[in-house]
Structures are given as C-alpha cells and as structure tokens.
C-alpha cells in the first residue's frame, strides 16, 4: 500500500503576517504533485490568517500545540475546538521543544494526542532521542517508551502521523543519514506492528524530522519507511518547495 507523502512545515515561534503571506503564496503558486499532503504550522495567532490564504486542496494548516481541555481557565493554552474553528486540521503534539523546554511528560503528550484525535484533529506525534541517549545506545528504548504512553490511550491511529525527530539533529546542522533514518523508521514500524497490528503499522506514516532541507530531502527518496518530513527552519525558506517536490 502506497502511503501518501506528507510534509509538515513547523514555523515554530517565527513569522509575521507579511512573511507568512509570502510563504503561503509561494506554496500556492508552486507546482505541487497531487499525491503529496502539505501541512503548514504557523504560530497560533496566524492560524486563521494562514488558513484563509491557502488555495491548494492538498495543503492545509495545523497548530503547533493544543491542550487536553476544550475550554476553561487555562490561560495561554490552545483549544482544539478553537483550532478547528479557524480552519486548521492538524496539530503537532510532543515536539522535542515542548518536551525539553516546557517539561511535557510522555503521559501529557498522550493525553493531548487522545483529546485532539477525539475532537477530530489529525495529530503529528513527535518522538525522538537526545544526543546523550543516542550516545548511550538507547534510541529505540526512548522512542518505544514515548510511543507506549500514546498506545495506552489511543486505539484508532488512522489520523496519527508519527514524526521521528532526533533531538540532536534539530537546529544543529547535524542530520541522520538516510540509511540511519530508514533503520530507525523500520524499527518504529516493526514496534507499531507488534503493538497495534501489521495493518495499522503499514498505514501509519512516519516522518523524518531532523534538519531536512532542500539539498538532503531527495537523498531519502528511496527509503521505504520514510514517508515524508517534519521541517523546521527550512519551511520558512523557498527551499521548502524543493522538499515538497523531493519525491518527484
């Protein structure tokens, strides 16, 4: 079964109306294959604005975070219902920066994932190891532990996209080789098969999220378990179009 190629653009805490307009218009004008799904994730204040600018059917907008309560006295949090209300269809949950800088636990990530899915959003679920964990040789143990928390709460994975992001490769200029990424992705898919069944594992898209750019994206082209990318800094630049088109 061919899994639809998926490219997410995580703008992080960057951008303004002018720059986001330029990014979206660049995507709108670009030649993008029909068999690619693109999700643009600007900062929360610009979700509505970005969703209103998108004109291609294979392009949608996602949030960078969401809370596990629909509404209430939760100052500063993003509501799933409000994210949906402004036209966004996806949310990134468990990004390494949320885990490390804001101390989100595996259980909180799982709770957020379940709530977003239950309310009808697609979830880009981020997992990955730090440099210390990589050096200690516990990469698979780390990602399996992170997955286990979500597996315990989520039974329907049809709207989950897993993003493997080696934390040591984010913003450092370092990147896993395509062969390394394929090995880890294959191990993740094998683990999902053991826990959720072969059919779910085969259908679940697994993205690489470690410093993908316009130059290296094409080198992942023949890796059968790399189903796309979650892109950080490069999503703000013209080369993002090259990443989107790297399979064609």
Which residues are catalytically annotated?
95, 165
DSSP 140-168: HHHHHHHHHHHHTT----TTEEEEE--GG
CA angle 125, 126, 130 (to 5 degrees): 160
Nearest-angstrom CA–CA distance, 59 and 24? 10
DSSP 54-67: ---TTEEEEES---
CA atoms within 13 A on the CB side of 164: 27
At residue 75, φ and ψ (nearest 5 deg) are -55, 130
229: which strand partners?
7, 208
């Amino acid at each position: 079964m061919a899994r639809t190629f998926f490219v997410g653009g995580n703008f992080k805490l960057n951008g303004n109306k002018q720059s986001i307009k330029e990014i979206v218009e660049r995507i709108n004008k670009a030649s993008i294959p029909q068999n690619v799904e693109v999700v643009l994730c600007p900062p929360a204040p610009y979700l509505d604005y970005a969703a209103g600018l998108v004109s291609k059917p294979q392009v949608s907008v996602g949030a960078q975070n969401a809370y596990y309560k629909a509404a209430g006295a939760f100052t500063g949090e993003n509501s799933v219902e409000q994210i949906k209300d402004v036209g966004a269809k996806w949310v990134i949950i468990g990004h390494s920066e949320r885990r490390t800088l804001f101390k989100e636990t595996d259980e909180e990530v799982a709770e957020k994932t379940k709530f977003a899915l239950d309310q009808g959003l697609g979830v880009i679920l981020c997992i990955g190891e730090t440099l210390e964990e990589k050096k200690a040789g516990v990469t698979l143990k780390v990602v399996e532990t992170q997955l286990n928390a979500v597996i315990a709460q989520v039974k329907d994975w049809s709207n989950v996209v897993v993003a493997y992001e080696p934390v040591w490769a984010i913003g450092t200029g370092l990147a896993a080789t395509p062969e390394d990424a394929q090995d880890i992705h294959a191990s993740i898919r094998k683990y999902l098969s053991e826990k959720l069944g072969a059919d779910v594992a085969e259908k679940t898209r697994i993205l690489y999220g470690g410093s993908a750019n316009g130059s290296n994206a094409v080198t992942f082209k023949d890796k059968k378990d790399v189903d796309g990318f979650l892109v950080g800094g490069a999503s703000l630049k013209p080369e993002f179009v090259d990443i989107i088109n790297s399979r064609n």
